[in-house]
Amino acid sequence: MKFSYFPGCSLKGTGRAYEESLLAVCRALGVEVLELDDWNCCGATAYMAVSEAAGYMMNTRNLALAERDSHELLAPCNACYLSLKKTQHYIAEYPSVAAQATGALAAEKLSYTGKVKVRHPLDVLVNDVGLPAIKKAVKQPLKGFKVAPYYGCQIVRPFAEFDDQQNPVLMDKLFQALGAEVVRYPLKTRCCGGSLTGTLGEVGQRLSFILLNEAQRRGATCVATVCPLCQFNLDSYQAEMSRQWSPVRMPVVYFTQLLGLALGLDEKALGLQRCIVPLPAQEVHA
């Protein structure tokens, strides 16, 4: 099983722990991952807001690079995943966008046919590697973990390629397979605040707080995410939220970190030390 890998900016910055844990987990499960050579920004930051066309062109280049490697393209950051999907959709549906893309790529002697498939690691790990294989590889079942699975918005809206749009369940199934208890978490696709946390801090934090408070109320011991921005928003401002609304303290980890723990991988190798709110030691060494 071989994939081209598009980390995007987050996995090299605030989301380093996601990259570390993802690569470690893939190694352990025999999924070969090759970082895309000379990749560029996915355009999800300011591009899409200022000039959608420019955003699509950025993605087209990454897609063309991936086609050259002829593997499926693994995009762990939800924002990258969605921008790539959106670009593919627009190129397929609108000839004017397709023509623009072809022109832009010609400058670099690249081409894009539309055949490359963009995949999210949650999809790959649960559906391609499969729960039976993962179960077999578990060395330390996640006993005592009560996980609130938080999916965020971008892997279910507007496209829902690999899970139910209104009620995604892949993470629920994964953690159950790892031996953890999954709390019923109805806010699993509600907004984390997104980039509002950076622009209208209080509004964004309020949205994050609702998610954390609910997880706490339901007795979760940690929240698991599939997206670097969700993880960042939920993890980073808990002190402010506690001051502003009510006390909240909830470790927020990547699903790959929990998977890594269950596979018996080293805490450091999974980047767990990077969490602002640490996962309690007794859980890690349970």
Partner 1 sequence: MKQPTNGEARIGFYVCHCGTNIAGVVNVAAVAQYAAQLPGVVVSRDYKYMCSDPGQELIQTDIKEHQLNRVVVASCSPLLHEHTFRTACEKGGLNPFCFQMVNIREHDSWVHEPGDAATEKAKALVRAAVKRVALHTPLEVKRTRIHPDVLVVGGGIAGIQAALTIANGGQNVYLVEREPTIGGHMAKFDKTFPTLDCAACILTPKMSAVASHPNIKLWTYSEVVKVDGFVGNYKVQVRRKPRYVNEELCVGCAKCVDACVYKEEKFEDEFNEGLAKRKPVYLPFPQATPPVVVFDPDACIQLKTGKCKKSCLEACDRNAIIFDQKPETKEIEVGTIILATGFRTFDATRLPQYGFGTLPNVYTSLQIERMVNASGPTDGHIMLKDGRTPKAVGIIHCIGSRDNRTNRWCSRVCCMYSMKLAHLIKQHTGAEVFNFYIDIRAPGKGYEEFYGPLPARMDFRERRRQGEMGGQRHDRKAARPRPARPARQTPAVG
Q: Is 189 in the site for partner 1 (CB under 8 A)?
A: yes
Non-local (6+) Cβ contacts of 222 within 8 A are 145, 146, 147, 148, 250, 251, 252, 253, 258, 279, 283
What value does the CA radius of gyration of the chain take, rounded to a whole number of Å? 19
Binding mask 71-110 for partner 1 (x = CB under 8 A): ------x-xx-xx---------------------------
Q: Is 231 in the site for partner 1 (CB under 8 A)?
A: no
Q: Is 158 in the site for partner 1 (CB under 8 A)?
A: yes
Q: Is 271 in the site for partner 1 (CB under 8 A)?
A: no
Q: Is 40 in the site for partner 1 (CB under 8 A)?
A: no
| Closest among 182, 91, 164 to 123, alpha carbons compared | 164
Angle between helices 228-236 and 201-217 (to 10 degrees): 90
Maximum C-alpha span of the chain: 57
From candidates 184, 243, 249, 268, binder to partner 1 by CB under 8 A: 184
Specify the DSSP element, H or E, that contains 156. none
Nearer to partner 1, 196 or 262 (CB): 196
Residue 100: phi and psi, rounded to 5, are -60, -40
| Least distance to partner 1, CB of residue 137, Å | 28
CA distance 34 to 69: 9
Residue 212: phi and psi, rounded to 5, are -70, -40
Which window, 94-102, 190-198, 258-266, 270-278, contacts partner 1 (CB under 8 A)? 190-198
Nearer to partner 1, 121 or 260 (CB): 121
**CA 91 to centroid of chain Cα atoms:** 24
Q: Is 186 in the site for partner 1 (CB under 8 A)?
A: yes
| Least distance to partner 1, CB of residue 44, Å | 4
Residues in contact with partner 1 by CB under 8 A are: 8-10, 41-45, 48-49, 55, 77, 79-80, 82-83, 153-154, 157-158, 164-167, 184, 186-190, 194-195, 214, 229
